[in-house]
Amino acid sequence: MLWNFKFNVPTSIEFGNGKVKLVGEFAKKLGGQKVLIVTDKGLANTGILDKVIDPLKEKNIDFLVYDEVKPNPRDVDCQKAYEQVKEEGIDVLIGLGGGSSMDTAKAIGTLLTHGGTLSERYGTDKLERDITPLICIPTTAGTGSEVTSYSVITDTNIKDKMLLFDLRLSPKVALVDPELTLSLPKSITAATGMDALTHAIEAYVCNVSEPISDSLALHAIELIAEHLVNAVENGKDLEARQNMIVASLIAGLSFANTNLGSVHAMAEPLGGLYDTPHGVANAIFLPFVFKFNISSNPKKFANVAKKLGVSSEGKTDDQIALEGAKLLEELANKINIPKFSDLDYVDTKDFDFLAGAAEENICTTVNPRKITKEDYIELFTAAYEYKGSNIYA
Ligand code: NAD
């Protein structure tokens, strides 16, 4: 194969414990006189919000807090937030939290600079100018949104998640501070960690992968395989937390420059329809899609499996890759990711709608194996019928 690619890192990254203290300095550098902090109520209650407010006060920067962000952020809420702040003269945005807060900040920035509605901006390169300068401070180790030029917003009309994708959405600065993830509960650590793992795997196997993102993705897989269980079980282990948030960051750089695949194509409509946490949805579908895709490139899938810890001695690539699928299933069980059928709101009658939405999802176009709506129905059904026995038996 002859390579032909571009690789952008439009965000300046500051990584390390205590980096959140730099927020005042960076807000000032970006010309901030009145800053909007975009976050959610859960975070406001952890004390993390104060870690952002104090450095702003030290630099005498005026600020407002919008703390109404909800998981799987909805178009109508972003629009409402914009209406609340549009006359306030906001010149810098801070996205503080998980992907939901960072994506909402990107959406508000889009509306502040373009007016109109978000639906006019869905798709690729639909922005006419840079959004309001944005500083992202992740507090989950999962989405990588602090370095991506994506914002994922639920369109309430069609009950599906839509993508805004434009380099003009990119945060100017990412302050990645592992200490901010010490307060994450087990279930969110588990789900967001599986999200980061899914990013790394899909970026590596998708049909627009390239060597820079490949190397980042493989390293992220290795880090997550080594540290996720420990981060879930021993949440105060700062080294495990550090390794997980760096893995999420580099997986973010990887998929920001490539794309994803059918796990995301299935997870996004699930989040849009039922509000399922994004990481949980990814974790549920990952082993099934991994197994479905192996035949497209057994060597690459075997490489993933080896990074996950599968031994390769005396085995073919197909065998190694299949053991990788089993290991993904075991990992999800070990960290108590619910099974698809445990989600009591899931109605099998919706599989037709979900499979149709998955087929239409942009991630389907880059999945390494051609996949149809019928395949998606089979995958949703297989995941639903799975009760814990070996999926590849
Ligand atoms: P989230 O932002 O929805 O947060 C989940 C929960 O975690 C919230 O209740 C929040 O209060 C809590 N929380 C966050 N940090 C905490 C902390 N340090 N301590 C205690 N509680 C904390 O979850 P997420 O998984 O980070 O984000 C998911 C969203 O991101 C989805 O909408 C998904 O589609 C999107 N996403 C975006 C990108 C991108 O590149 N833009 C990539 C992947 C996913």
What integer is the mean pLDDT of 138-157?
A: 97
Question: How are strands ordered across the β-sheet holding 34-38?
Answer: 12-15, 173-176, 134-138, 92-97, 34-38, 62-66
Hey, is 176 helix, strand or coil? Answer: strand
Question: How are strands ordered across the β-sheet holding 160-165?
Answer: 123-124, 160-165, 150-155
What integer is the mean pLDDT of 3-7?
A: 94
User: Does ligand 1 have an atom closer than 6 angstroms to the CB of 11?
Assistant: no
What is the Å distance from ligand 1's center to 253 Cα?
Answer: 17
Backbone angles phi, psi at 95, to 5 degrees: -95, 110
Amino acid of residue 90? I
User: Does ligand 1 have an atom closer than 6 angstroms to the CB of 290?
Assistant: no
- Residue 392 pLDDT greater than 70, yes or no: no
Q: What pLDDT digit, counting tens, does each position of 185-230 carry?
A: 999 999 999 999 999 999 999 999 999 999 999 999 999 999 999 9
User: Does ligand 1 have an atom closer than 6 angstroms to the CB of 100?
Assistant: yes
Ligand 1, closest atom to CA 199? 43
Question: Measured between alpha carbons, how far is residue 116 from residues 78, 103, 127, 271 in Å?
Answer: 12, 18, 12, 25
pLDDT at position 1: 76
Contact 123, 140 (CB under 8 A): no
What is the Å distance from ligand 1's center to 140 Cα?
Answer: 6
Hey, is 135 helix, strand or coil? Answer: strand
User: Does ligand 1 have an atom closer than 6 angstroms to the CB of 79?
Assistant: no
User: Does ligand 1 have an atom closer than 6 angstroms to the CB of 276?
Assistant: no
Amino acid of residue 16? G
Strands 150-155 and 160-165: antiparallel
What is the Å distance from ligand 1's center to 374 Cα?
Answer: 31
User: Does ligand 1 have an atom closer than 6 angstroms to the CB of 98?
Assistant: yes
- Closest residue by CA, ligand 1 atom 22: 184
User: Does ligand 1 have an atom closer than 6 angstroms to the CB of 254?
Assistant: no
Q: What pLDDT digit, counting tens, does each position of 219-272 carry?
A: 999 999 999 999 999 999 999 999 999 999 999 999 999 999 999 999 999 999
Domains and CATH numbers, the chain: 12-181 (3.40.50.1970), 186-385 (1.20.1090.10)
Burial class (CB in 10 A: 0-12, 13-18, 19+), 114: middle
What is the Å distance from ligand 1's center to 106 Cα?
Answer: 14
User: Does ligand 1 have an atom closer than 6 angstroms to the CB of 329?
Assistant: no
- Residue 294 pLDDT greater than 80, yes or no: yes
- Residue 301 pLDDT greater than 60, yes or no: yes
Rounded Cα distance, 241 and 182, in Å: 7
Closest CA to 144 of 183, 105, 200, 93: 200
Backbone angles phi, psi at 87, to 5 degrees: -95, 10
What is the DSSP track for 12-58? EEEESTTGGGGHHHHHHHTT-SEEEEE-BHHHHTTTHHHHHHHHHHH
Confidence of residue 61 (pLDDT cuts 50, 70, 90): very high
User: Does ligand 1 have an atom closer than 6 angstroms to the CB of 43?
Assistant: yes
Contact 223, 365 (CB under 8 A): no
What is the Å distance from ligand 1's center to 195 Cα?
Answer: 10
Ligand 1, closest atom to CA 148? 40
Q: What pLDDT digit, counting tens, does each position of 330-346 carry?
A: 999 999 999 999 999 99
- Closest residue by CA, ligand 1 atom 27: 99
User: Does ligand 1 have an atom closer than 6 angstroms to the CB of 95?
Assistant: no
CB atoms within 10 A of CB 130: 16
What is the Å distance from ligand 1's center to 313 Cα?
Answer: 39
Cβ neighbours of residue 336 closer than 8 Å, sequence gap 6 or more: 186, 187, 190
Buried b (16+ CB within 10 A) or exposed e, 367-377: bbbebebebbb
Ligand 1, closest atom to CA 71? 3
Average model confidence (pLDDT) across the chain: 96
Write out the two tokens for 53.
Answer: 């407010």
